[in-house]
Structure formats: structure tokens, C-alpha cells
Chain A
Amino acid sequence: MILLTIIARIADGLPLAASVQEDEQSGRDLQQYQSQAKQLCRKLNAQSPARCILEAGDMYFHCLIAEDVCYLSLCEASFPKKMAFAYLEDLHTEFHYLYGKKVSTVTRPYSFIEFDTYIQKKKKTYVDNRTRRNLGSINTELQDVQKIMVANIEEVLQRGEALSGDGCLQVLSHTEVQHDAWQPPPVGVTGDRKHRKWTGAIHGLNINSHSVTKRHE
């Protein structure tokens, strides 16, 4: 299940388009995740890794950065990483084609909110079971998903540190990407998981302090 998709401009975190899973079953309070997503968009910059995964409770944010735009999706833990990134790649291709040239000129938030219709359609094809079985046909460039850095979103946001592309950590090298369900590595193998994740992240880090903007009415 892909619950939330946000597309934002890297330069200043301006949201460009978004889609929120709309059905009765979602019923979850996506408020908190939306807020985190917004903050994350502001923290990312040109030095951030092109792909990363951020752990948020029992969900994962998948993040793809391309051509000064970041594409974020919030998925359930069981949703395969490969598919999440293939989905984001697809969005990027279409979004860039339609709006790439205008991205740097807009000032209003969600200037391309109409892209939501395309996002919803794409989401359906990825969430629909038949597609999941055809995983093999997904872009083979994503073979190296093991190298995608994983971090905890709260820590990223609270420490006010921008994610850096340097020192990518091979946290997941011991785990094969499963077709159906990606399991987080068992605690015993990595020891203090959180600490290990951060070791990589601290190398060559840019410490930018961004203050969290309060929500206005």
C-alpha cells in the first residue's frame, strides 16, 4: 500500500504535487506523516543521496531525488522497496516531462496538484496484485537497492542534519530483497541498529540547522 506521495522542489522544499490514499480503509491519521514529509522536503538538498529510505514507525518513506525534485512515498513495511522505487521513477519520468521546465519558476505551493490524477493511476498499477507478480520486468537498474541508505526519520528531522550522500552504509547487504515482503534486519545481526545506521550518516555530514516552522491557521 502506498499511502502518501509527495513531490517537492529540493531548493526550498516547496511542495509541487501530492496524493493521499483516499478510501475508507486507510482510516489512519496520516497527519503526522504528512507533517514529517513536509519537513523532510525542506531538509533535503543537492548533497542528499539520490535514493534513501527513512523509517517512520511501522512505515517507510522512500525518497528519490532527480533533477532538483524529490519524490517521496510513504509505504507500509511490507511493500517491496524495488516496487516503491520503480513507482517513484515512473512518477519522475512523467512529472519531469510535463512540468520539469516550470519547476524553478513557480511560487505557489502545489502548483502542479493536478498531477494527482496521474499519481493515483500509477499507484493503482503498483498496488494491484498482478503487477507484483511481474516484478522481474521492473527496471533492472534497481538491483542495487541494497545500497540504499536507511535512517530513522525522527532522528533526521530532530537533529536538523541534512542527509548526506557520503558514506553510504551497506546496512542491508546481508538481506536479499524479497519479492513479497521486505523484512527489516533482525536486531541480533546488526546489534545496536540505530547506532550502526548513524555511523555511516555522520561521515562528512553537513550540519544545517533548520528550524521547524510552526503550522499557522
Chain B
Amino acid sequence: MSLQSSTPEALRVVNLLQERNLLPPGTVPAPTPCLPQDIQKVNCNPEVFRCTLTSIPQTQSLLNKAKLPMGLLLHPFKDLSQLPVVTSSTIVRCRSCRTYINPFVSFLDQRRWKCNLCYRINDVPEEFMYNPVSRSYGEPHKRPEVQNATIEFIAPSEYMLRPPQPAVYLFVLDVSHNAVETGYLNVFCQSLLDNISALPGDSRTKIGFITFDSTIHFYNLQEGLSQPQMLIVSDIEDVFLPTPDSLLVNLNECKELVEDLLKSLPHLFEKTMETQSALGSALQAAFKLLSPTGGRMSVFQTHLPNLGVGALQSREDPNQRASAKDIQHLSPATDFYKKLALDCSGQQVAVDLFLLSARYCDLASLGCISRYSAGSVYYYPSYHHQHNPAQVERFQKDLKRYLIRKIGFEAVMRIRCTKGLSIHTFHGNLFVRSTDLLSLPNVNPDAGFAVQMSIEENLDDMQVVSFQAALLYTSSKGERRIRVHTLCLPVVNSMSDIFSGADVQAITGLLACMAVDRSMAASLSDARDAMTNAAIDSLSSYRQSVLTIQQPGLLAPACLRLFPLYILALLKQKAFRTGTSTRLDDRVFAMYQLKYQPLAYTMLMIHPALYRVDDLTDEGALNINERTIPQPRVLQLSVEKLSREGAFLMDAGTVMYLWIGRNCNPNFLTHVLGVPNYAAVPENLYLLPELDTVESQRTKAFIGWLRDQRPFFPSLHVIRDESQLKASFMQNMIEDRTESALSYYEFLLHLQQQISK
């Protein structure tokens, strides 16, 4: 069966030099794979599993010719509102390649099924003939495993190397003078106190604390003690645990002591004058404590570790921040953190890092502790309880989410694909334990992953191929589970079909991951060139292989019309930009985020959404839970679209800016901001006042709706022209020219010139 030629819209020829309005009114939707309806309707949700090319090229040479990267982007542990869970004594898997039975296998008859990854014919086990949902016999294809592309199994004991571990939470806290200055400890302790009963777990949940400065402090929380007992170890060169038990205690049984400790911790160190930070030793101690069981280590650090193992130097040269040439020190200065992360990974310990600092902390080195142990990095530059209340609010909200979100322990993930395809590079916070087994000591619902693929053998005679991601984990209640996602995509052999199936956002997301790697392995300028070339080469290929009529201009298929814009956005992104002052830690954090976040949030980071909000109406509004949510149109990121008479909201994922025009509509000022005029707009406003006006309701409904769609909390900054944050806002105006970068139009001309060569 030959695949019907692409949807006409995807391949509509767009002359980028002429068409200005390229952005859809709302979010860019994921392309729908071109499959028969009965297959597509059971296909995996693109928010969970997505490919850069929704039509897979039949051969590697076709793929090479298209000059588009091929890879998968996954969000395997995403919070799902609906998840079918199967408890079955038999988990049906292919005898030969161990693929889990899924909606895309074929049944030869009722008793035999053919694997869609290796084509082996398997027997249908007797138990599988019975369908527990419909209580019928003889229709194995109707079982939930074959009807759902995303499903979870309760794993039998063969899937466990050891009895399921309990939830174990260890908090490692910087209590140096600097740390106390920032005031983070108060927020942390209060947040944990508020959420302590909501920590995922069961009656076995364990908790512990380590604080450190130039020495390491442990806390004996044994049941029966009248108050927590602090034990100080000053031998940081050879850290040891001062007592064998009671440093990690059962949360239920010792809750009062834990709460006592949290209430007194901020005061304990109020007067400290300790300026040194033995982070490396603290991490080693924490590892010793957690290694028998595994669990989660949450590390809070507020300045450069300067004592003992893992001590770091200040490598950043502030004069190089705006360098137009290459950026140094993107790679770790020491392998201490990576090595420790690998040790942690081996013992099922994940390390999450919260960096709250005003000065350089060498995140490029520190971040390794999370990157290889499947942890996550949180970053609050210039965190200060008084000077930066917006950061404080963000920290509080992030902490709450962090403490109570779902968590999986001692996990491994495997991604399998149809014979002929192979996976060769992995992106995300993980450790590749063997060719395709990914070690994830913790798995959390906010982590994204990506892989790159190649075609080892021609996919002849195949109409479709499949991909399956299987995540084996222990839930916080000690249940061993396997979450399986299966994606099916058509195979095509014409260049126009390949192009029409291109998923521009997935391609951008994968290129960003590849660029981060290239920046660290080679150089930033290499990475920048590679990204620009990706646009040049693919549009060049399109021109040569797909366009039948040569026209002047810079031509792209409609499905890739945003590609040059996104590439330019990446070039101007904090991670990759040159010529604009960028703090090294900020840059490194941006790189980490590009590799770690699920695609939807990465895209907001790369290409923020801009809306006019002073004239919100109910026209076209959504009605959700009896609230009316206005739906203003997404605008191009250019000052051309701003107006002095208006107010504009920029949603950049983790941060939002509400820019107020100098002659802003007075209605907006009074009814939404609660101020009489422009001059009265407060300097550091980050909360919209509670006002009983229609305009306020609308604005809050819209912002609330945007925020609700993501698990983390974007801080909001109201800015006027004089605001310090105006620069950050303006830096996101991607389409405009700056001192160090081309405008969008100039970039298009540059691409056109390169393509014509």
C-alpha cells in the first residue's frame, strides 16, 4: 500500500521572505502521524512520546538526504489523568526481543501474535485469552494491553533485584554564613513542615538531615529522645557516620522530633560566621547514609564549595560574559561530582541540587551530581529573602511541588524500536548502564528525555515501525510497576513524504540537546554553526528534492515554516548567545534545562509566547470549570508588535513578564494593577492585586490558566520601561536586530544566500 501523499497543508509552499504571519493563534500543535484512523486513534499521546519525523524514512540514505535529525522525545513519567493499570500473573512479552505486547502487534489467529519490533511469532498464553475488563473469552486483541498505547503493569517479583525499597528522603543543607544571609533555610524548613504529611510514601518512609559548613553535622532523631541531637564530624577528609542508626529515621514514628528539628534549624545557625563550605564531604557523608537503601538526596547550596574534596575555583571571568567569541568553562573542572553521581546511581540514590546563589558557583561542575544520577537541578540566582521576593515566591512554590509530586525509585528504562532502527545517543539526566538500559535511581514527572536514532537496515516492505519505552520503577508505596508507552509511525520512501511529516518543535528540541553536547565537547561556536547549518541544509534539501517548481525567495514547507525562527531563537537563547552579557552559571543552567525539560516547556523557553492583555475579551474564550478563560492571540516576538498604549504578557515558561506601555490604557492600570497612573506602577511588582473588576478576573484567569498547565511555577514580573528586567524582556524579542545578532529577516536573507551557493 503506498502511503497517500501528505496532507496538503503540511507541504504548502511558504515563501518565508514574504509571509510574515507564521505563528498559529495558540500553541503549535504536534503533527498527527499519517496512519489509518483505527491505528492512529490508539497511538501514543505526543505529549508523552514524539518523533522528530512523523513519517520515518525507509533508508539511511534518504534520511541523510533530508538533512533532518531523527530522534524521539519522551516524557515517560508525566502526570496522567488517565492511566490503565493491569495486574496480571502473566505479562505478555515477545520471546525474542522482550517487547511488551501492545496495540500495534498483529494477531495471526487467536492463539498467535506477531511482534511489531522483531516480527517473531509468539503464542498467546492461556490466561491472556480471558479479558478481565469485558469478562469475555477468546478475544485477546481486546485486552487493555492491546487497546492502550500507554499502560502500567504491576510487576511480579521476577522484576525485582531486591524487595521494593521504601521512600527515603535525605536533605543536605548549606548552613554557612552566606546561606543564612539568603534566608533560604527559613523557607525550606517552613515548606517541609507544611508539606511533611504529603511526602509520597507509606509507613516505612524514612527521613534524615545533614547540615554543613566547614564541618558536617548529623542529627540523631531516634524515637524516644526528648529533642534532636546534633553530632558534628570535623574530619572532612575521611567522613564517617557518627552513629549506625537514627540518622535516617522512620518518619511516622519520629515525626515530632523531625518537626522540632525543622523549627529550630534556622535559629541554630543564625549567628554563624562560617564562610567555608565542605560540600564534597557532605555529599560523601550523605551517600554513605543513603547507599544501603537508595533514595533521594536533596542538596541546598548557596555558594562555591571551597573546602575539602570537590572544592572549586571561581573560573568565570566577568569580562568575558559578553564575549562574541567562544565561551570557556562549560565543562566540569573536576570529575569528582560525576564520579560521585555514578556511585550514587549504582546504589539507587538520585541527587537533586538547589543552587541559590548571588555569585558564580561553577554549575558546570556541580550540576554533574544531578545529571548522572537522574536528579534535577533548580537554580535561583540572586536569591535573597528581602531583596528578591519574586525568587522567594518561586522557590516556595517549586519546593512544594518538589516535595509532594509523584516519585519513583530504583528505576530503569529501556527503549526498543523496530528491527532496522537503532538508538545511539541519549539526552537527559540519566546514566546509560549498558547499550540501551538507562539507570534512573529516581524518576520524576517533570523530567524529559531524548534519543537520537539511525537506520541500520533498510525498512523495506514495512509500512509502519514502532517504538516502545518501558520504565520499571518502585512506587513510593513499595509497589513495583512497569509503565509502557508504544508509538507507531508510518514508513515512507519519498522526500516529500519525509518533509511533510517533519515535527518542527521536536526537531528544534532535539537540535538544542545536540547543540548543548557540542558546546561542551567541542565549542560553542561549533554548536552555533551546526544549528544554523541544520536550517540551511534542510531547506536546501527541500528545495532540491521536493520542490518541483523553483521559485525565488526562501521556501519552506508549511510544516517547517517556523524552523528558521526557532533556530534564530536558539542562537539568541541564553544557552548559546554570544555578544550579550551572560553569566556563566545562567548559561549553563539554560543548557541543562534544554536537555532536561519536556518539549512543551523547552519550546516556551526558546520561543516565549507574547500576548496583548490590556484588551482581553470573552470572544473565543474557553470555559473551564465555570471560569471563562480569554484566549488572546500569540504575537510575533518583535517590538513592532508592542504598543505604548497596551500591556503585554510574555510567557517564557519559568518566568512571565507583564510589560506596561507608557501610555497604557488607564482602565488596565486601575482595574488590573490597582494604580491610578503609569508612574504609580510599583518597581518590583510580582503579584497582581485582588481586585473585584471584570478586567482583573479576566487577566488572572488567563495567567492562572497558563500556570496551571505546567507543574512548576513561573514567577511574574510587572515591568515598566525603567525596570531592571526590561532587558530580559527585550532579549526575548527574537525577531529584532540587536548589537550582536541579526534580525529575523536578516537571518532569512543569510539562509537564502547560503542555500543559493
Contact = CB atoms under 8 A, between A and B. Distances in A.
Given A22-B293, A24-B291, A114-B478, A109 B166 contact: no
A217 B163 contact: no
B9 interface: no
B472 interface: yes
A37 to B, nearest CB: 10
Nearest to B156: A109
Nearest to A108: B154
B553 to A, nearest CB: 53
Interface in B287-343: 288, 291-293
Contacts of B10: none
Interface stretch (A66-74, A151-159, A208-216): A208-216
Interface string A105-117: 0011110011011
Contact of B87 (A22, A23, A30, A108): A108
Given A20-B162, A34-B162, A117-B250, A14 B478 contact: no
Contacts of A64: none
B722 interface: no
B161 A31 contact: yes
A15 B163 contact: yes
B577 interface: no
A184 B472 CA distance: 42
Contacts of B163: 6, 15, 17-20, 34, 110, 113, 116
Interface in B121-170: 154-164, 166
B479 interface: yes
A150 B156 CA distance: 30
A96 to B, nearest CB: 19
Interface in A1-29: 6, 14-15, 17-20, 22-26
A213 B161 CA distance: 13
A18 B161 CA distance: 13
Given A107-B87, A108-B87, A217 B204 contact: no
A107 B156 CA distance: 9
A179 interface: no
A147 interface: no
Chain B contact surface mostly: loop
Contacts of B349: none
Contact of B292 (A15, A23, A110, A215): A23
A32 to B, nearest CB: 11
A122 interface: no
Contacts of B89: 107
Contacts of B292: 22-24, 26
A216 B158 contact: yes
A117 B479 contact: no
A34 B164 CA distance: 13
Contact of A113 (B91, B155, B478): B478
A114 B478 CA distance: 8
B204 A15 contact: no
Interface residues of B, number: 35
Nearest to A107: B87
Nearest to B158: A216
A146 B131 CA distance: 52
B346 to A, nearest CB: 13
A50 to B, nearest CB: 24
A132 interface: no
Contacts of A114: 202-204, 478
A38 interface: yes
Contacts of A217: 98, 159, 412, 414, 437, 472
Contacts of A26: 292
B164 A113 contact: yes
B725 interface: no
A109 B291 contact: no
Contacts of B480: 109-110
B483 to A, nearest CB: 14
Cβ-closest 8 pairs across A and B: A18-B163, A22-B292, A109-B157, A113-B478, A114-B203, A216-B158, A15-B157, A22-B293
Interface of B: 87, 89, 91, 93, 98, 154-164, 166, 202-204, 241, 244-245, 250, 288, 291-293, 412, 414, 437, 472, 478-480
Given A18-B163, A216-B98, 19 more contacts: A19-B163, A23-B245, A24-B241, A24-B288, A30-B162, A34-B161, A34-B162, A107-B87, A107-B154, A108-B87, A108-B154, A109-B157, A110-B163, A110-B164, A110-B478, A116-B166, A216-B159, A217-B412, A217-B437
Interface of A: 6, 14-15, 17-20, 22-26, 30-31, 34, 38, 107-110, 113-114, 116-117, 213-217
27 contacts: A15-B157, A15-B163, A18-B163, A20-B162, A22-B292, A24-B241, A30-B162, A31-B162, A34-B162, A38-B157, A107-B154, A108-B87, A108-B154, A109-B160, A109-B480, A110-B479, A110-B480, A113-B164, A113-B204, A114-B202, A114-B203, A116-B204, A117-B203, A117-B204, A117-B250, A216-B158, A217-B437
